Structure 1
Amino acid sequence: MTAAESSEFVKENIEMELFSSEERGVDHPLAQDPEEEPAWSCFSLGRGLSQPPPAERSPQRPIEMEVLCSLKTHRDKTVCEHRSRRLKWKKTPPPGSRFVVKDVTFVSREQYQAQMESQVFSQSGAVSPVRARMTVDQTWAAAEMDNRLRLVLRRQFGKAAAKSMHFTYLQSVQSSRCLFVPSAPEEGWSGVHVLRISALRPLHVLIHQDISLVQSEQLLSEPQKNRSDLCPTTDTNCRTQELGEELRRVLSAFTGESRGEEVPLLVRRSTALQSALRAVRRSNFCFRDTPLVSFSGEETEGHQGPQREFFRLMLQELRQSPLFEGPPGRLLFTSDLSSLEDWGYYEAGVLIGWSLAHGGEGPRCLHPALFQLMCGRSFSLDDFSWRDVVDFQVQSHLQQLQTCADVRCLSPALRDWIHRCGVPEVSGASTAELPDIYRRVVTHYIHDRVSGSVEQFTQGLSSCDGLWSWIKSHCRAFTPIMTSARSRPLTLQDFRALFTTSYSEVEEEKEEEEKDEENKVKEEKETVAHWDTVLGLISDGDAALTFEDLLVFVSGVKLVPPLGFPGLFRLLFYSQDPVSSAVRLPFASTCALELFLPLRVGGAVDLLRLLTRAVRESVGFTSLRPEKRTSLDTASA
């Protein structure tokens, strides 16, 4: 064998040994042995510089890695265990809430048949769908879910119609607006199953009766005193008188129950609300107890007048408290967390119930739309304005939504805000649905958003022998005293009807005394004529006084209470002291409901000037304030 052949043979032998060897060869000089664990320490590159550890390769798809780990055994078991442990790390979804608020849409047979033909459910038809909102408990059984939905139907269509009404749950196809009847579960439609078929969309319920016919029957079955279409617009006094009679009948039944004890109550005039809260927070407080009110630093001849004025001042401060916001007479509830924790809204309800139980005038401050929603009724958009909201940003959103003529013009920010208000289907809504979306957004902001405050307030009213149940059952009758919807200022005829004149009696004993009495009666009639002229000037707006100012001066309240006053106001007279140069101003007794006018005044203008001074300068009961000159001012006693 030659040298060349020997060299070739050695080379081939070496290559065969390499190929037949079970040892793993190095693929590349720079490649790293996988059996060696790299030490990921920072290698020094220069002054203070360090190289970060190489990026670890991301693991492959979870299914592929799980299969590989189960079929192959890696030499380095720690690496495999580390990878499998990292693959099993999953983010668990948060537990669902037990109570879910769902929007319910009642679909008529005509709407369901129309969508079956067009394969799209349209909410803009001749008959708009009836909407409601309810809370669904996931633990409810089928019977409980059925009763809860019938309660919603009762509020919408009446008690008789809801009892005999048949309905079917509908399910919407995902990513579509088509509705179909799902297969009923064996155990019935429980709360979980109802939430499952509705998912994130509203719950659709098919009503087998004609909705328009049911609504018309509901209107016919309502009492005539609760209907506005039976009395023509030119004869609204008929409906107002009937509602007033109903209110007086209900309040008489509420206040006519057993009276409590008489409890003395010292009140500081500037902080009447704090004095009332101190009384309410006592452990032995009962709203039936009659407060014998006396104002600090003032003397009175009775307790009826101070009691009426105390409730008026207390309600006046309550309207201006942090519990409410908005323009006067159209107040909305706030969501004050500190007041919620301290049960401030509950105490407000107790104070109002306490006032009504003792003949108070009522709050007359809630927004009409809010009061209708609190009673479970729908409200008219004519009763609400975006200006009633205090938040300027919310005002802007409501104004844009109300004036929007095309749903495509809604900005993304406005759509997000509407979605946060509980209307998630705004993205797929049509232009015809904008009024309904606006109504639902308003309902969320003024009622649903402050549901905790509303619930506390109604609980406070209910603590007064179930007063909230009385109010809710006679919602329209209580509207004038809970809101300012149908309140109107006193007219000349209304104010005159409150007074009766008490003339001096003429005794037939002596001729001289009889003549004096006749002259006095003549002077009294002249004063009455001046009084009538003064009332005419006030009615025409030519005076600095109003009838409400005079009513407070005589009775202690600014509005006529729902149950009226114990009797008519008496118009009496007095003569000026001829010896003294002081001028005695007109005065009144709020306990006896008496108004004293001076005799021998120069005319109606002089009498109006004296009355204006007496009303403006009176500061309390039996309060004396010296005139700049020599006159003595006696305010209402």
Structure 2
Amino acid sequence: MESQIAEKVPVQEILLELSSKISTKRQCKFNINRSAVWEGAMRGFQRVSYDPNLMICVKFSDDMGRNEEGVDLGGPRREFLRLLMETIARSPMFEGKENSKNLALDSTALREDWYYIAGKAIAVSLVHGGPPPNFLSPTVFCLLVNGSVNPKLEDIADTELLEKVKKVSESTTLEDLEKSNAPLLDYLANAGCLRPMRSIRDRDLLVQDIVMFQVIHRVQSPFQRFCEGLKTLGVLDQVRRHPDSFRPLFCYEPNTLTADQVDDLFSIRLSPEGSNKRAAEEMVVTF
């Protein structure tokens, strides 16, 4: 009898297949200043001549305009993509915990189409050998894959709103429920959730509606543009086909520290060969 469970495809194999279509004969050049990585990325990605199928060539320049590296042998490109992923994670386009962020609603980002650029940047980084985003919440990842999700109360990043909604969720009588609702009346009206509470049973449905509006419905437009950007180089399509393979790249997963990882943290600098110090150091290194 055949197994009904599809075998998990290694994500490296999927990305290798996507990157095999990148042309190494032609390049797209990016001039980047480390103090303005996002601005440099936007200039590059929004150019009419930009083609994600061409190799990215990055040149860093300091404030005086001197080139730090004239030739991109891969290092500057990876450094640029690393800085870009960090910049996107800290941007006003996302909100929430450091390693588990949801989309935020930012009028400037929406007007300037930054959400699309952010999605494209993540797709390009994955296929061009850069780091993964690794900061999206499981809620956003599930939404990317399935198109729908039931967010949790903890997904609300606005701490003031979260505390108010918690009080609603903790109400045990109809009187408590009406009192906890009072500070939220304007918000509920804007969210389309304003309605009379006839029994305590209405509490859970109200909390669910608030969370769904705040985390999902409110950011539908940013989410759609983010998805459009992620379609670059076929990345979103592969994410939806192989969610288990891509989840560790999009969502932070703490790993157990290994001896090899600790070993890799250190670069050993030994004293000159033949010296007494060198002999003692070589003995210590084994430990």
Q: Shorter-chain-normalised TM-score: which range?
A: 0.7 to 0.9
Matches within 5 A, 1:79-118: none
Matches within 5 A, 1:520-531: 523=278, 526=281, 529-530=284-285
1:251 aligns with 2:20: no
Please say which of residues 326-335 and 422-431 is displaced more in the overlay: 422-431
Distance 1:282 1:390, change over 3 A: same
Matches within 5 A, 1:52-67: none
Other-structure match for 1:397: 164
Other-structure match for 1:378: 149
Within the candidate set 282, 286, 308, 2:78 is matched to: 308
Deviation (angstroms), 1:290: 1.8
Decide which structure has the larger Cα Rg and report it: 1
Other-structure match for 1:263: 28
Output the amino acid matched with 2:226: F
Q: Work out whether residues 151 and 215 of structure 2, in 8 Å CA contact, stay in contact via their aligned partners in 1.
A: no
What is the CA–CA distance in structure 2 between the aligned matches of 1:441 and 1:353, rounded to whole Å? 31
Deviation (angstroms), 1:327: 3.0
Within the candidate set 462, 465, 488, 2:233 is matched to: 465
What is the CA–CA distance in structure 1 between the aligned matches of 2:23 and 2:103, rounded to whole Å? 32
Q: Work out whether residues 352 and 362 of structure 1, in 8 Å CA contact, stay in contact via their aligned partners in 2.
A: yes
Q: Work out whether residues 177 and 200 of structure 2, in 8 Å CA contact, stay in contact via their aligned partners in 1.
A: no
Deviation (angstroms), 1:420: 4.8
Output the amino acid matched with 1:378: V
Other-structure match for 1:488: 255
* Larger RCO of the pair (alpha carbons < 8 Å, separation 6+): 2
Distance 1:529 1:274, change over 3 A: farther
Deviation (angstroms), 1:359: 1.5
Other-structure match for 1:88: none
Uncovered stretches (5+) of structure 2, i.e. residues with no partner: none
Distance 1:284 1:328, change over 3 A: same
What is the CA–CA distance in structure 1 between the aligned matches of 2:241 and 2:34, rounded to whole Å? 36
Within the candidate set 230, 242, 245, 1:477 is matched to: 245
Other-structure match for 1:238: none
Distance 1:325 1:529, change over 3 A: same
Deviation (angstroms), 1:458: 0.5
Deviation (angstroms), 1:380: 6.7
Q: Work out whether residues 122 and 133 of structure 2, in 8 Å CA contact, stay in contact via their aligned partners in 1.
A: yes
Distance 1:445 1:255, change over 3 A: same
Other-structure match for 1:446: 215
Residue-by-residue CA offset, 1:237-270 (whole Å, 9 max, x unaligned): xxxxx5xx53223222222324352334332222
What is the CA–CA distance in structure 2 between the aligned matches of 1:458 and 1:258, rounded to whole Å? 21
Q: Work out whether residues 339 and 345 of structure 1, in 8 Å CA contact, stay in contact via their aligned partners in 2.
A: yes
Deviation (angstroms), 1:425: 6.9
Uncovered stretches (5+) of structure 1, i.e. residues with no partner: 1-220, 226-241, 502-515, 534-637
Distance 1:427 1:436, change over 3 A: closer
Other-structure match for 1:280: 45
TM-score of the superposed pair, with normalisation by structure 2? 0.77
Output the amino acid matched with 1:319: A
Output the amino acid matched with 1:421: A
What is the CA–CA distance in structure 2 between the aligned matches of 1:525 and 1:259, rounded to whole Å? 52
Deviation (angstroms), 1:284: 0.9
What is the CA–CA distance in structure 2 between the aligned matches of 1:224 and 1:380, rounded to whole Å? 27
TM-score of the superposed pair, with normalisation by structure 1? 0.38
Matches within 5 A, 1:27-42: none
What is the CA–CA distance in structure 2 between the aligned matches of 1:414 and 1:289, rounded to whole Å? 54
Q: Work out whether residues 18 and 234 of structure 2, in 8 Å CA contact, stay in contact via their aligned partners in 1.
A: no
Deviation (angstroms), 1:332: 2.5
SS for the counterpart of 1:427 is coil
SS for the counterpart of 1:450 is helix
Deviation (angstroms), 1:347: 0.9
Q: How many matched pairs?
A: 272
Quote the RMSD (CA, aligned, Å).
3.6
Deviation (angstroms), 1:414: 6.1
Residue-by-residue CA offset, 1:21-45 (whole Å, 9 max, x unaligned): xxxxxxxxxxxxxxxxxxxxxxxxx
Distance 1:308 1:450, change over 3 A: same
SS for the counterpart of 1:223 is coil
Other-structure match for 2:131: 361
Other-structure match for 2:113: 343
What is the CA–CA distance in structure 1 between the aligned matches of 2:208 and 2:12, rounded to whole Å? 33
Distance 1:415 1:302, change over 3 A: closer
What is the CA–CA distance in structure 1 between the aligned matches of 2:106 and 2:37, rounded to whole Å? 22
Q: Work out whether residues 29 and 57 of structure 2, in 8 Å CA contact, stay in contact via their aligned partners in 1.
A: yes
What is the CA–CA distance in structure 1 between the aligned matches of 2:11 and 2:27, rounded to whole Å? 26
Residue-by-residue CA offset, 1:496-539 (whole Å, 9 max, x unaligned): 479999xxxxxxxxxxxxxx98x49x949945944x76xxxxxx
